[in-house]
Amino acid sequence: MTANYDAVVAGAGPGGLASVAALLDAGAQRILWVDPEWRGGRLNGMYREISSNTTVAIYLKAIYSSAAFRSIIDSTPAPHAITRLEEMDHNSTCQLSIAGDMICMLIDGLLARPEVEKLVGKVEEARLENTTWAITTTPTIPDQPITAHRLILSTGSHPKRPNTHEHHNPSMKTLDLDTCMQRSRLPALLPADTPLKIAVIGNSHSGILVVRNLYELAESGTRTLKILNFYHRPIKYAVYTDDGIIFDNTGLKGATAEWAKTVLEKDPDRNIVESVCVSEDEEAVLARELPSCTHLVYAVGYERGPLPRVVVDGKRVEGVLEFDMRSSGFKVPGKGEVRGLFGAGIAFPEEVKDLEGHVEAAVGMAKFVSFTQRVKGRWMGLEG
């Protein structure tokens, strides 16, 4: 017997959470939600001790914009993760642990809905047959082929980890960016009995957060280390105005921005950290500096996680799919839009312009909710 769904959602991080809520708000009656870990995505699984860049007010506005989320809040006995947010200063940010608790509460609430079915696993293949998707999962549902009218990919991303600079010093150890952003886990990566020199390549939010963690570790006296922070351009900060935020998605915010302004750009200990510009001759600068480094951290952005095999007209197309950051749909070059295939979340964000016209990718739980709420009618065929 075939299990036919209105939608299959691949991924249960913030983007998948927002997608399921939007589908329910738009009238979906049967949703299969697939994730291999069910830990609230990388945000809740790996970044709980990091300070959020989003204010409490923005979180609450986003959550209350969804009828599905509101029903969970109304039916959950207080106190809970949302009441904890409501009790905080709405103009402040919070630790991502609080946002993570909110995400887990909302996931549990959506899974309690009769319209939502949970599968611990992965979407391995999606094959478009006429106007219906035939979905293959691991594990499979015994004797129950899966079909759906639409597939939402919210498959996440992970830090880029190139090796383009390691030839300058093959003995350097490359450290994991995600682990370095977690202050409690960082010391375990670094020996305590030898002086260290650590290259951090990049000065985006993640790069500066790593620099801060390393700097404070050196200040604690438990490690002897020097940080070289390589950058192409000066640090960019979000600018708050009465009308909104300039560089809302690309500028530093919150506690990390305050630290950078008051320490890194004001009066840092030069024996601990040095900022090194590579804009004029990157290779020459790195060739000069990296041979003396013991460790290397890449903070050069994120890349999409692997997609399921996507088959359209009998041909695999996942390697050539183009995502439309305005409509949330996909197309195959030369063949047009792929019917019933959509994306959301950090791998597939909305494209927006800030107040000064800078084009950015809108990343963050609240922004995923906003995007999915805007396109939910299109997903369900309620609008063009």
- Using one digit for the tens of pLDDT, what is the confidence trace for 25-78? 999 999 999 999 999 999 888 899 998 889 999 999 999 999 999 999 999 999
Pull the structure tokens for residue 241. 């105005």
The reported pLDDT for the residue numbered 141 is: 74
My answer on whether 152 and 8 are in the same domain is yes
pLDDT for 171 beyond 90: yes
Instruction: Please give the pLDDT value at position 163.
Output: 87
pLDDT of residue 148: 97
195 and 312, same domain (yes or no): no
12 plus 111 within the same structural domain? yes
Out of 252, 283, 301, pick the residue that ends a domain.
Answer: 301
Predicted local distance difference test score (pLDDT) of residue 78: 94
Inter-CA distances, 49 with 69, 205, 329, Å: 25, 15, 34
Mean pLDDT of 131-159: 91
CA neighbours closer than 13 Å in the CB half-sphere of residue 292: 9
Unique residue bearing structure tokens 């959301």 = 344
Work out the widest C-alpha separation in the chain, in whole angstroms: 69
Name the token pair of 49.
């001790």
- Assess whether 237 and 319 both reside in one domain: no
* Domain range for 25: 3-156+305-380
Among 286, 301, 316, which residue terminates a domain?
A: 301
pLDDT confidence bin for 20, thresholds 50/70/90: very high
Q: Are 115 and 44 members of one domain?
A: yes
Question: Tokens in use for 47?
Answer: 């970044």
Cis before 77 (ω within 30): no
| 238 and 366 share one domain | no
| Last residue within a domain, chosen from 283, 301, 319 | 301
Mean per-residue pLDDT, 232-259: 91
Same domain, 82 and 137: yes
Q: What pLDDT is recorded for position 244?
A: 86
Report the pLDDT value the prediction gives residue 51, as an integer from 0 to 100.
87
| Average pLDDT rounded to a whole number, residues 332-346 | 95
Q: What is the reported pTM?
A: 0.94
Does residue 255 carry a pLDDT above 70?
A: yes
pLDDT in tens, 194-225: 999 999 999 999 999 999 999 999 999 999 99
Q: Is the pLDDT of residue 120 over 80?
A: yes
| Ranges of H-type helices in 117-176 | none
Distances (CA, A) of 243 to 157, 239, 352, 356, 360: 31, 11, 15, 11, 17
137 pLDDT band, cuts 50/70/90, is very high
Cα–Cα distance for residue pair 366/56, rounded to 1 Å:
10
State how many domains the chain has.
2
**What's the rounded mean pLDDT across residues 363-378?**
97
Q: Mark residue 247 as left, alpha or beta (left: phi above 0; alpha: psi -120 to 50; beta: remaining).
A: left
Same domain, 92 and 31: yes
d(CA 285, CA 165): 11
Q: Are residues 187 and 293 in the same domain?
A: yes
Tokens of 173: 């150890």
> Bridge partners of 227?
198, 273
Which CATH number is 309's domain given?
Answer: 3.50.50.60
Question: Are 142 and 269 members of one domain?
Answer: no
